Amino acid sequence: MKQTTRLERDGWVSALEPTAEDIVRLTDEFKVPDYLISDLLDPDERARTEIDGRWMVVIIRVPIYNKSADVAYYTVPLGVLISLHTIVTICMQQNEIIKEIQNSPKTKDIQLKDKVNFVLQLFLSSANYYLRYLKEINKLTNEIEAALEKSARNVFLHRLLDMEKSLVLFMTSLKTNELLLMKLQRSKLVNSQEFNEELLDDVTIEYQQALEITKVYSDIQSGRMETFASVISNNLNVVMRRLTSITIVLMVPTLVASFYGMNVPNGLENNPLAFIGIVVLTTVISVLGVFWLKKRDMF
């Protein structure tokens, strides 16, 4: 945990992947309730805002990329705790949103009166990363689709399913963030302080765009999954049909050989040309069977 940006008085304190020692410092030094910290470290915590004692709590769902995770693109809660003289951000994982705010030249001039703009900047940064990750997801999905056209391997299908999971997570988080943004616009904090209306408009537009793109990609992904399921089922039917045709063709020489291979008199047991004749007969019948089945698109 470290203090990232010095404000007029106490400042902005950022806690990313807080350790037990960091949590103790947050509760003892900054008087953050431990149950709030527990909520913020819950990966399923929903986006919301509430007043808790001296703190106004704003929880945003932010996008995360972690290539070593089961699902590479997902979301986690980012908590913003605002008091009279302090802003505390808490997140269970390292994320690009906080790093971007830290490195932004605009952040260096943040004053206490800009708490609303600070929150809006977090919203805007998260929306930008949603859009960036959506482009990456779309690119990866196209690559997986191209690979599936060559070979319908299970590993590609699992990767495609992971992309669909990411889109579902993004859509759910974007919807809750959008509702949270609407609620913040009516909150006492916004009404009591000056804020950048242009920044608010940018945030609203970016979230609407991200949500619309996610819906489009999700619909395309669902249709793509259904199409590949139909293609795989159709390929299985084709294979089974061909195997059935091969079985029918092979059944003819097997049947003829079975008749003439019986240990009973059949009139050809003393004929030196019997074997050659049977082979020629079964070959001709099999070839005719192949042409017949191929004519009916069974081979």
Do residues 216 and 244 share a domain? no
Indicate the burial class of 131 (C-beta count within 10 angstroms; 0-12, 13-18, 19 or more).
middle
Distance, CA of 236 to CA of 250 (rounded, Å): 21
Do residues 164 and 263 share a domain? no
Give DSSP secondary structure letters for 171-232.
Answer: HHHHHHHHHHHHHHHTSHHHHHS---HHHHHHHHHHHHHHHHHHHHHHHHHHHHHHHHHHHH
Do residues 209 and 239 share a domain? no
Tens digits of residue pLDDT in 50-59: 888 888 899 9
Tokens of 286: 């099999």
Question: 36: domain range?
Answer: 2-234
Q: What is the CATH number of the domain that holds 206?
A: 3.30.460.20
Total tally of structural domains belonging to the chain: 2
Do residues 221 and 124 share a domain? yes
How many C-beta neighbours within 10 Å does residue 206 have? 18
What pLDDT does residue 105 have?
63
Distance, CA of 126 to CA of 97 (rounded, Å): 6
Do residues 44 and 90 share a domain? yes
Full-model pTM: 0.77
What pLDDT does residue 91 have?
92
What pLDDT does residue 168 have?
93
Distance, CA of 294 to CA of 98 (rounded, Å): 65
Q: Phi and psi of 86, rounded to 5°?
A: -140, 145
- Give pLDDT < 70 ranges for the chain: 1-10, 104-113, 152, 187-195, 264, 266-269, 299
Do residues 20 and 127 share a domain? yes
